[in-house]
Structure 1
């Protein structure tokens, strides 16, 4: 059994688990990146509004609200490894339903398919995020998360490019039934990943003080009776809710925004946000924790994201899309920093705290849907104003919120 008492040098023996879980983070990004191709496709082929097409993203992320806590219970019963394998089975079922959805040209069935794949995403996120967070010292968790982030965010633009490559047409010429072949390939790959999760040598991990007989390892949590007695966690949950929403906006709206600006080959612009994120993750790998604390990284990233979101809405439209790279750069280390800052000192409430953090991922359903409604009302460029207050709150959490403790 592995605990958070592992030293940095000791984590070298966990290279295989890190690689395997990195593949799973790639799968999460790929599954979410599919939406950036499906949204404008549905908008065009079904003749629906932007708000209606963004319901696909909402359906994916709404599963986090419903299944975030049950996922933690499943992990408690069968462990991280088997839960990871189960999640890929859910993914495969959800992706399969995309095929009849396309044949029937049914938006409701697309939403059901997205929701089921979102269930898979919920169970996988509930497994891999706390796993990586506690697979080593908490102060270097953001560094491990940064490695995972590189794998995750590179997968976002690969998904629409993979679909475009297999289909062999530009987005404007694609029919819904053209997605059948690539989705059969994706289903096969995800089933293989489920088998990998089962056979891979992944040690079960627990946080310091998570067991009742080791409660003295985390004195702050020892006398607590409820997960709701950790204000730094609750403030962090809301910060994560906002973060996932604005990150999904920056990653998931690029193809749609490029198309609305009349730019050629809009799918190529899907790379703008992931490039910014990968740059940020590389900085996290290099600087955290040796030169930069996780809290300092969060503050710097919030400022960068604020700059980017303001520039997107203030500069001429034809240039605005390129400033999304600064929003993405700012988002890069928010996830790696928010998880360890919010999960610190939870002890025996670690799994419960993790379930709240996973539920907060529902922000990816709500904020992009709001973006879609605002886009319909005031245009795509002005719709990015919704990101500004979100980044302001995250800046507050980096400065003060993560320090709030009960006596």
Structure 2
């Protein structure tokens, strides 16, 4: 049904069609805000559920894994839905799945079940996978190919706004600021300890119920709005076609995106733990700095969009990734309060990386664009796997040394920008 509606929109007069495109553009941009809102609550959930469910650093890293591994499993189904029906159908499906996951936070908190929390996060991320698989390529094909990178960076800037709202406002609702030592916890009576842990767990209920409500309202709006058909070449079917990897710039783009997302998740997810260990910062103060961290990310997106009008996206990606490597070297070797501030700068410089890598990787893929987009979204699984490495280093050594893990990831991004970011003649792979 959606495909029929979209075809009808093509018969509109140019003025009406332009208006429809603008409305659709605004609605799709709202999706960037929404998935940032859910994804950037993870840095708050890690220390929060670490308390409420009594976890260690390695166990708490599975909070990241439960969220980001969903991208690996649902990217191809999302692409299949869009290929068979439409971008619009994929977006509505994602919003409904994410809303179901957000609603599960209520019973998870009542039961204080870490397993159910992880499943709820998995479902929320499954919905966000549909949104990302649809929104990123849709933005790139809504206008001239020459400005696709700048257009996607502009849209992704609203991702930074969602991250800022999550850190500065929702985090204050979830985190209580109550921090007890192991000795204080062991001195509590069983009833007092249970009441404390239950109150900590329940603080996530209201924010996630509100998120579920917003997702459902947005899904209804998308259902009522007609999408204009975009100019894109593709067939009627969808398959897991590995031949897209014959493009060197795409192949290395997937590797770079895996590394980048892993680094991004590490930087923010363990930031509160890093600030506490390296600079002796209390939880609530570190949460304020987390808000500043994600504000730097948002500012970096807008600044990057501006700079890309005057310089090559590839050269900017190279310069920014090298800057991240150098800043993280200080954070690992010296740390302290200066290390915390340097992490703010890392967040600024890494802000352009996801949309820039994404846009360059799918450039000139033609009718393989949706397949390539699905594989790039699958590479977000780096956010599930790389933090486990950081969590293991933090558990066996310390969280400051563990930030060497994202340092290595940014070195991979720098290599991609230096050697493989530009489209080249495709290298044929064996047929499968």
Question: Does TM, scored on the shorter chain, surpass 0.5?
Answer: yes
- The answer to whether residue 131 in structure 2 is matched with residue 113 in structure 1 is no
- The answer to whether residue 303 in structure 2 is matched with residue 283 in structure 1 is yes
Q: 2: distance between equivalents of 1:45 and 1:98?
A: 13
Q: 2: distance between equivalents of 1:249 and 1:386?
A: 8
The answer to whether the 8 A contact 1:11-1:136 is kept is no
Structure 1 residue runs of 5 or longer lacking an equivalent are: 4-9, 213-223
Go from structure 1 to structure 2 and tell me whether the alpha carbon gap of 1:189 and 1:161 turns closer, same or farther (over 3 Å shift).
same
Go from structure 1 to structure 2 and tell me whether the alpha carbon gap of 1:67 and 1:160 turns closer, same or farther (over 3 Å shift).
same
- The answer to whether residue 40 in structure 2 is matched with residue 33 in structure 1 is yes
Go from structure 1 to structure 2 and tell me whether the alpha carbon gap of 1:164 and 1:347 turns closer, same or farther (over 3 Å shift).
closer
Q: 2: distance between equivalents of 1:259 and 1:117?
A: 29
Taking only aligned residues, the RMSD between alpha carbons, in angstroms, comes to 2.4
Aligned counterpart for 2:245 among listed residues 180, 204, 228: 228
Aligned counterpart for 1:273 among listed residues 293, 302, 309: 293
**Could you say which residue in structure 2 is the equivalent of 1:138?**
145
Give 3-state SS (helix, strand or coil) of 1:202's partner. coil
**Could you say which residue in structure 2 is the equivalent of 1:219?**
none
- After superposition, the C-alpha distances for 1:377-397 in whole angstroms (9 at most, x for unaligned) are 221111110122211121111
**Could you say which residue in structure 2 is the equivalent of 1:179?**
204
TM-score by length of 2: 0.84
Write the mapping of 1:180-219 to structure 2, written as runs, cut at 5 A: 180-207=205-232, 209-210=233-234
Q: 2: distance between equivalents of 1:210 and 1:274?
A: 37
> Which shifted more, 271-280 or 363-372?
271-280
- After superposition, the C-alpha distances for 1:54-94 in whole angstroms (9 at most, x for unaligned) are 21110111111111111100111221112111111111111
> Which shifted more, 334-343 or 313-322?
313-322
The answer to whether the 8 A contact 1:39-1:256 is kept is no
**Could you say which residue in structure 1 is the equivalent of 2:258?**
241
TM-fit CA distance, 1:162: 3.2
Give 3-state SS (helix, strand or coil) of 2:204's partner. helix
Go from structure 1 to structure 2 and tell me whether the alpha carbon gap of 1:61 and 1:16 turns closer, same or farther (over 3 Å shift).
same
Give 3-state SS (helix, strand or coil) of 1:54's partner. helix
Give 3-state SS (helix, strand or coil) of 2:74's partner. helix
- After superposition, the C-alpha distances for 1:108-161 in whole angstroms (9 at most, x for unaligned) are 111111111111111111011111122222332221122222211221242244
Go from structure 1 to structure 2 and tell me whether the alpha carbon gap of 1:164 and 1:287 turns closer, same or farther (over 3 Å shift).
closer
**Could you say which residue in structure 2 is the equivalent of 1:342?**
361
**Could you say which residue in structure 1 is the equivalent of 2:396?**
377
TM-fit CA distance, 1:354: 0.8
| Paired residues, number | 388
Go from structure 1 to structure 2 and tell me whether the alpha carbon gap of 1:171 and 1:308 turns closer, same or farther (over 3 Å shift).
farther
Go from structure 1 to structure 2 and tell me whether the alpha carbon gap of 1:227 and 1:196 turns closer, same or farther (over 3 Å shift).
same
Q: 1: distance between equivalents of 2:64 and 2:174?
A: 22
The answer to whether the 8 A contact 2:335-2:400 is kept is no
The answer to whether the 8 A contact 1:61-1:361 is kept is yes
The answer to whether the 8 A contact 2:164-2:298 is kept is no
The answer to whether the 8 A contact 1:139-1:294 is kept is no
Go from structure 1 to structure 2 and tell me whether the alpha carbon gap of 1:330 and 1:166 turns closer, same or farther (over 3 Å shift).
closer
The answer to whether the 8 A contact 1:232-1:342 is kept is yes
**Could you say which residue in structure 1 is the equivalent of 2:275?**
258
**Could you say which residue in structure 1 is the equivalent of 2:187?**
none
